[in-house]
Structure 1
Amino acid sequence: MTQRYRYEYGQDPSQWGELFLPDLPAGGTHQGVVVVIHGGYWRSTYGAELGEPLAKDLAEHGVAAWNLEYRRAGNGGGWPATFEDILAGIDKLAGLAEPHALDLGKVVALGHSAGGHLAVWAAGRAKMDGLAPAEGGQVKNNNDGVRLAGVVSQSGVLNLAEAERLDLSNGAVANLLGGPSSEYPQRHRSADPMAALPLDVPVYAVHAEADDDVPLAMSTLYVDASRAGAVPARLVMVPGDHFDLINPESPAYATCRELAAQLLR
Structure 2
Amino acid sequence: MLRAGDVDTLPLRDLGRRIAYGPDSLQFGELRLPTAPDEPRVPIAIVLHGGCWISSFATVRNTAPLADALTRQGIATWNVEYRRSDSPGGGWPGTFQDAAAAADYVRVLARQFPIDTTRIVLLGHSAGGQLALWLAGRHRLAATSPLAGGMPLPVRGVLSLGGVTDLEEFAKRQPNGCGRGVSALLGAPPDSVPSRVREASPILRVPLGVRTAHIAGEDDRIAPAPVQQAYRRAAETAGDSTAVIVSVPGGHFEVIAPHTNAGQTVVGLALAAVGRSPRRSPPGSSPR
State if a TM-score over 0.5 links the two structures.
Answer: yes
Q: Which is further off, 145-154 or 113-122?
A: 145-154
Aligned with residue 147 of structure 2, among 139, 147, 155: 139
The Cα of 1:147 is off from its aligned counterpart by: 2.6
User: Following superposition of structure 1 onto structure 2, how do residues 66-85 of structure 1 map, counting pairs within 5 Å?
Assistant: 66-76=78-88, 77-85=90-98
Q: Which residue number in structure 1 is paired with residue 207 of structure 2?
A: 198
Q: Which residue number in structure 1 is paired with residue 9 of structure 2?
A: none
User: Following superposition of structure 1 onto structure 2, how do residues 52-91 of structure 1 map, counting pairs within 5 Å?
Assistant: 52-76=64-88, 77-91=90-104
Q: Which residue number in structure 2 is paired with residue 233 of structure 1?
A: 243
In the alignment, structure 1 residue 41 sits paired with structure 2 residue 52: yes
Q: Which residue number in structure 2 is paired with residue 135 of structure 1?
A: none
Matched pairs, number: 258
Q: Which residue number in structure 1 is paired with residue 166 of structure 2?
A: 159
Letter aligned with residue 122 of structure 1: L
In the alignment, structure 1 residue 173 sits paired with structure 2 residue 182: yes
Closer, same or farther: CA 2–21 of 1 in aligned 2, 3 Å: farther
TM-score, scaled to structure 1: 0.91
The Cα of 1:93 is off from its aligned counterpart by: 0.8
Provide the rounded CA distance (Å) in 2 between the counterparts of 1:238 and 1:30: 32
In the alignment, structure 1 residue 95 sits paired with structure 2 residue 102: no
Provide the rounded CA distance (Å) in 2 between the counterparts of 1:180 and 1:35: 29
Say what the alpha-carbon RMSD is for the aligned residues: 1.8
Closer, same or farther: CA 54–30 of 1 in aligned 2, 3 Å: farther
TM-score, scaled to structure 2: 0.84
Asked if the contact 2:172/2:179 (under 8 Å) is kept, the reply is no
Asked if the contact 2:164/2:222 (under 8 Å) is kept, the reply is no
Unaligned runs of 5+ in 2: 1-12, 276-288
The Cα of 1:60 is off from its aligned counterpart by: 1.3
In the alignment, structure 1 residue 105 sits paired with structure 2 residue 113: no
Unaligned runs of 5+ in 1: 133-137
Asked if the contact 1:204/1:234 (under 8 Å) is kept, the reply is yes
Overall identity of the aligned pairs, in % = 36
Aligned with residue 256 of structure 1, among 259, 262, 266: 266
The Cα of 1:242 is off from its aligned counterpart by: 0.6
1:124 match: secondary structure: helix
The Cα of 1:251 is off from its aligned counterpart by: 0.4
Closer, same or farther: CA 131–42 of 1 in aligned 2, 3 Å: farther
Structure 1 residue runs of 4 or more that deviate by more than 6 Å after TM superposition: none
Provide the rounded CA distance (Å) in 1 between the counterparts of 2:268 and 2:247: 14
Closer, same or farther: CA 176–64 of 1 in aligned 2, 3 Å: same
In the alignment, structure 1 residue 124 sits paired with structure 2 residue 131: no
